[in-house]
Amino acid sequence: MYGLIGQMQAVPGERARLMQLLASSSEAMPGCLSYVIAADKDDLDSIWITEIWDSAESHKASLEIPAVREAITQARPLIAGFGTRAETEPLERTP
């Protein structure tokens, strides 16, 4: 399994729109087990994205999905920068 946790800063006043754009492209991503977009409670312009994938290869392949590429293109003008980023190795859940 492969995990990724990253902080993204939106252009001031554009956080909600950025979150919506990212969420709109996250429905059909093969290998994605979890994709959570969360507003930072202490920074009105920051969001956190937590992803869990079956493999790093699936994550990389997702960047070639047309809907994901379109969302990235639309989101770029709304992104002011990036903060903390961490790759993780999630513990597989058991029933």
Evaluate if residue 26 carries a pLDDT over 80. Answer: no
Given a cut of 90, is residue 3 above it in pLDDT? Answer: yes
CATH 1.10.630.10 fits 2-88, yes or no: no
Contact 36, 3 (CB under 8 A): no
What pLDDT score does 46 carry? 98
- Mark 62-83 as b/e (b = at least 16 C-beta within 10 Å): beeeeebeebeeebeebbeeee
- Determine the average pLDDT of the residues in 44-61: 96
Mean pLDDT across 47-65: 95
Sequence letter at residue 82? F
Confidence grade of residue 94 (pLDDT, cut at 50, 70, 90): low
